[in-house]
Chain A
């Protein structure tokens, strides 16, 4: 089940990047070959990117790819390490929970005020919803990470790690 979910997530992420490439490449081709380019390519590429970043940030929690300095906490082992790692995850969790809650409030406000995007004229809450979704995703993943910490796993998962 979790595996299917992760594959769907990866599929969405990859599609956003493919679309971004197609759109901007199409913009260049349009400008030179058809002498005109649609006005919304840049806007949609930007919004896709925002989704990709926030959902990607959530996916990166699972892979433990977020960049951090672990020189200091690596000095600790056993219970001390578990406690420090837990505090770190709880601080992280608090921030993303804050972003999820305030992000949802921003989305609700934007729905009620009816703000629209400048080029495509789509409701502005649609791209904005990336922030609470990504934050919520991170929050859920952090709960699992906390469990892993108490099992003593602090390192990046080997099998899921991105291979060069």
Chain B
């Protein structure tokens, strides 16, 4: 009853144009008030505590860095370099975006931060080259979600702890599946680009000299990935701190080397970051209340007992679990979902002989897809705001990429070796 109330209210709210964050809050409040005797105070407590988290700060910092790079001439030079290298290829820009996102997401471990940083300049660049806005915005949104599968990844740490498996094993297990998704996304982007004829006007290859000039022009800008990658992997700072360091670096080269930043543009960048970040954070914040309510009414347990009664065929049970996870990923943020679902689903699948490490990859891959599934798809929101593309357009544009990601998910599910091969070698 209360569950029907929860999803019914959510659907109605979304339909009549209530903002997504508010729809989550209204439906949780309605379900708690009319469906249970639970105290209402929890919602307001969560409204505060769900934001009281340090790693969450990586998101606004990377957003700010991305926007400052855009306005300070950093992105322009990186983009120019990328275009001179692969711009002559059909769909070259979309593939550059995917590779950039893969690296960036891998190190930052945050999907939304990646979309903000890379999407902030790649989406307008693609649109300028006549890519359809919906497609242009959905490329970084989809590629940004790979970051939680390629290490380091906070969801893997949480899974490792909850499922009692080695976090190191999880990190290794994520490498091949993450790259598989990236490769499949690139293939799809290429096919779409060929179909829509996304190619530069002259179509001629650039000369080595032009590439070299672009490289020289971008040398200061190229330090940014070096600082972030080197800083995190070299143990100099945490991902959140790396984000701040890149903000400071982008400010310095934008203002003093490229001389393109003014007080006015810096001020505007800050305001813009705050608006995008606030509207995203409010969604994360209220979706925590939503997830909390589901845990309180023990919905996951009910689902699991229903599942086990359904079948004894391992292939079928994995299919059903994947569908369930995709459904959950539509509404709930990744970390809450891992905490809530691991204890419920892990015993079921281990019964069928699935390795907990393999299952962790399946779980996190599912939830990564959740970053780009409406209605609650944080990457889609960020892409929508940083790229100035309507949310509905992205939802349409992301569909082919989503289909491919789900296809990749099924490969990952039914070919355990993809997750286990490296892990077993390393063991």
Interface residues, chain A, with chain B CB atoms under 8 Å away = 10, 13-14, 16-18, 20-21, 24-25, 27-28, 32, 42, 45-47, 49-50, 52-57, 59-60, 63, 65-73, 84-85, 87-88, 91-92, 94-96, 98-99, 102-103, 105-106, 127-128, 130-131, 162-164
**Contact between B277 and A50, CB atoms less than 8 A apart:** no
**Contact between B271 and A49, CB atoms less than 8 A apart:** no
Q: Which one of B14, B44, B241, B267 contacts A28 once the chains associate, using CB atoms below 8 Å?
A: B241
The answer to whether B375 has its CB under 8 Å from any CB of chain A is yes
Bound Cα distance A79, B56 (Å): 42
Residues of chain B within 8 A of A46, CB atoms compared: 51-54, 57
Q: Which one of B25, B53, B391 contacts A95 once the chains associate, using CB atoms below 8 Å?
A: B25
Residues of chain A within 8 A of B248, CB atoms compared: 21, 25
Q: Chain B's interface: helix, strand, loop or mixed, by majority?
A: helix
Bound Cα distance A47, B43 (Å): 19
**Contact between A68 and B53, CB atoms less than 8 A apart:** no
**Contact between B16 and A99, CB atoms less than 8 A apart:** no
Residues of chain A within 8 A of B56, CB atoms compared: 49
Closest 5 CB pairs of A and B: A56-B278, A66-B19, A102-B44, A24-B244, A68-B19
**Contact between A17 and B60, CB atoms less than 8 A apart:** yes
Interface residues of B in 317-372 (CB under 8 A from A): none
The answer to whether B274 has its CB under 8 Å from any CB of chain A is yes
Residues of chain A within 8 A of B26, CB atoms compared: 91-92, 94-95
Closest A-chain residue to B21, C-beta based?
A: A66
How many A-B contacts are there with CB distance less than 8 Å? Answer: 186
B105-113, B139-147, B381-389, B408-416 - the one binding chain A: B381-389
A53 touching B282 in the complex, CB below 8 Å, given contacts A14-B274, A28-B241: yes
Q: How far is the CB of A25 from chain B (nearest CB, A)?
A: 5
Residues of chain A within 8 A of B70, CB atoms compared: 164
Beyond known contacts A55-B278, A68-B20, A69-B14: 4 more, CB 8 A cutoff: A24-B61, A67-B19, A92-B19, A95-B29
Residues of chain A within 8 A of B18, CB atoms compared: 68, 88, 91-92
Q: How far is the CB of A74 from chain B (nearest CB, A)?
A: 9
Closest B-chain residue to A67, C-beta based?
A: B381
Q: Which one of B20, B48, B384 contacts A50 once the chains associate, using CB atoms below 8 Å?
A: B48
The answer to whether B268 has its CB under 8 Å from any CB of chain A is yes
**Contact between A72 and B47, CB atoms less than 8 A apart:** no
Bound Cα distance A10, B13 (Å): 30
Q: Which one of A14, A53, A72 contacts B267 once the chains associate, using CB atoms below 8 Å?
A: A14
**Contact between A65 and B385, CB atoms less than 8 A apart:** yes
**Contact between A66 and B22, CB atoms less than 8 A apart:** yes
Could you list 5 examples of A-B contacts with CB < 8 Å? A17-B270, A32-B236, A66-B21, A72-B16, A94-B26
Q: How far is the CB of A116 from chain B (nearest CB, A)?
A: 14
Residues of chain B within 8 A of A66, CB atoms compared: 19, 21-22, 279, 282
Give the contact-size bracket for chain B. 35 or more
Residues of chain A within 8 A of B29, CB atoms compared: 95, 98
Closest A-chain residue to B388, C-beta based?
A: A164
Which of A67, A102, A105 has the largest count of B CB atoms less than 10 A from its CB? Answer: A67
Q: Which one of A16, A56, A63, A84 contacts B16 once the chains associate, using CB atoms below 8 Å?
A: A84
Q: How far is the CB of B25 from chain A (nearest CB, A)?
A: 5
Q: Which one of B47, B375, B381, B391 contacts A99 once the chains associate, using CB atoms below 8 Å?
A: B47
Q: How far is the CB of B1 from chain A (nearest CB, A)?
A: 21
Closest A-chain residue to B19, C-beta based?
A: A66
Closest A-chain residue to B268, C-beta based?
A: A163
Bound Cα distance A21, B41 (Å): 33
Bound Cα distance A10, B282 (Å): 18
A60 touching B275 in the complex, CB below 8 Å, given contacts A67-B385, A106-B45: yes
Bound Cα distance A66, B21 (Å): 8
The answer to whether B285 has its CB under 8 Å from any CB of chain A is yes
Bound Cα distance A47, B285 (Å): 14
**Contact between B54 and A25, CB atoms less than 8 A apart:** no
Closest B-chain residue to A132, C-beta based?
A: B44
A interface footprint on B284-322 (CB within 8 Å = 1, 0 otherwise): 010000000000000000000000000000000000000
**Contact between A28 and B244, CB atoms less than 8 A apart:** yes
Q: How far is the CB of A59 from chain B (nearest CB, A)?
A: 7
**Contact between A102 and B41, CB atoms less than 8 A apart:** yes
A interface footprint on B1-31 (CB within 8 Å = 1, 0 otherwise): 0000000000001111111111001100100
**Contact between B282 and A69, CB atoms less than 8 A apart:** no
Q: How far is the CB of A62 from chain B (nearest CB, A)?
A: 10
**Contact between A18 and B270, CB atoms less than 8 A apart:** yes
